Structures are given as structure tokens and as C-alpha cells.
Amino acid sequence: MTRLSVNINKIATLRNSRGGNNPDLVQVAKDCERFGAQGITVHPRPDERHIRYQDVFDLKKIVTTEFNIEGNCQEQKFIDLVLANSPEQVTLVPDILGQITSNHGWDTITHQQYLKEMIRVFKDAGIRVSIFVDPVAEMVEAAATTGTDRIELYTEAYAHHYPQNKEAAIAPYVKTAEIAQKVGLGINAGHDLDLQNLKYFAENIPGLDEVSIGHALICDALYYGLENTIQMYLRQLV
């Protein structure tokens, strides 16, 4: 079964909009785990507009499933944060300063040597590494040379095209997942996966280890409730 990691960035966004500690990010993380989530994901950014650096330290103390910290390893503060908290997984994302949300994967050919160096830093600390990639065969093949343990397939294109032609939308992801398996990489996925498109994706991607879902899941929770929503997402992954 593919594991579900809940990205709680949007909970932090809501909290930060009024100050104080409502909703309580730590309690939400505990509840997500209690409701069946198999991991907690956060993506701190330099402006701390959602997840704050202190949140990471607070969450590290209470997460009992798998803690995944996403972010831009070109920021020294991010590197220090990850090393100080030793999550089960770090996901390296090539964000730029001020970016609203992640919108592309690594060019693993151009940045191959840099990724090798950064991945070694985290692996030497005993942290599993995943790198964000587009569903492009050459990028997955090059990712295998960097030393990463996994790739995270950036699924925005799949989600965008799914309503028009789901077979065409998923085709490049199936191809790249097959390549990842051949070269020994684990496979994660995330971005715009939701209750409409998740099941088809999970059923067709070979070796899918984990999906990280935040925005859609939190939006659905406004209607269905957090516990029910997490259960609904888990059922898509059976």
C-alpha cells in the first residue's frame, strides 16, 4: 500500500493569518497520525509564511510516524534545520526565493554534481533523501547518479490534464516510474493530487512508495472533517 503523508502547511497558513496558536499545528499533526496518516510533511520557506522554523523543532518532538521535511537545499538555514532535526526523509525542491508553490523539478543533468554533494550531506547524517523531478526520462536517469534514495514525481501536469484524458496524462509518469524502478530508485509523488485523481494515479504507477498531499486534503477537510477526509484519501491508496 502506498503511504499517505499529510502536508500541514495550510494549517500553519491559517494559524498565521490571525496570530496566536489556533489551529494548533502540533495537535493537528497528532490528530492526522491518529486518524491514519502514515507521515507528516512540512515545507518551510525563508519568509515563514506558513511553517515556521520553530514548528519543525516542535513537530520533531511529537511525530511518531514518518517526518518529511521539504525545501530548498540552496538555503543554508534549511540545511541546518534538517540536520538539527534528523527527519526520516528530506525532500529537496528547487524553489526560488518568494515562490508561492513548487512548480518544477530539478534539472538533474545540469545540477548533478551539486545534488551529489548535497545528498551526501544528508545521507551521512542518516537521513533518507528524495529529490523533486519532472516526469522526464532523462531527468530520472540522471537522478540515479546523484546518490538519492528516491525521487518525488511532480504531479501538477498529471492533475491538470487528468479531466480531459487520464490515459495521456499518466503516460509519462508510468514511463518514468518504470525507469526509476530499473535504476533502483524509490518513488514518491505529490502536487495537486486529490480525491478525483489519486486512485487512478496510485493504481497505475508501479512501485509508488508515498504520496504527499496538503492543499487538496485540507480543503476537503473543510467539508468532510479531518478524520473522515484522511480516511477517504487512504481508501484511494488501497
Residue 70 is among the residues annotated as catalytic for this protein: yes
Q: Are 214 and 9 in contact (CB under 8 A)?
A: yes
Region 188-197: mean pLDDT is 97
Average pLDDT, the chain: 95
Q: Which of 33, 152, 191, 210 is catalytic?
A: 191
Q: Which of 43, 50, 152, 210 is catalytic?
A: 43
228: left (phi over 0), alpha (psi -120 to 50) or beta: alpha
Residue 203 is among the residues annotated as catalytic for this protein: no
Query: 105 falls in which pLDDT band (50, 70, 90)?
Result: confident
Give the CATH number of the domain where residue 23 resides. 3.20.20.70
pLDDT of 167 reads 98
Look at residue 98 and tell me whether its pLDDT is greater than 60. Answer: no
pLDDT of 97 reads 59
Instruction: Give per-residue pLDDT as tens, 197-212.
Output: 999 999 999 999 999 9
Q: Are 150 and 129 in contact (CB under 8 A)?
A: yes
CA atoms within 13 A on the CB side of 23: 18
Q: Print the domain residue range for 225.
A: 3-236
Residue 215 is among the residues annotated as catalytic for this protein: no
* Amino acid found at 74: Q
* Amino acid found at 28: V
Q: Which of 2, 57, 71 is nearest to 26 (CA)?
A: 57
> What total of structural domains would you count in the chain?
1
Region 32-57: mean pLDDT is 96
* Percentage above 90 pLDDT, the chain: 92
Phi, psi of 48 (to 5 degrees): 50, 35
Instruction: Give per-residue pLDDT as tens, 67-82.
Output: 999 999 888 999 999 9
pLDDT of 198 reads 98
Q: Which of 33, 70, 152, 210 is catalytic?
A: 70
Instruction: Give per-residue pLDDT as tens, 109-151.
Output: 999 999 999 999 999 999 999 999 999 999 999 999 999 999 9
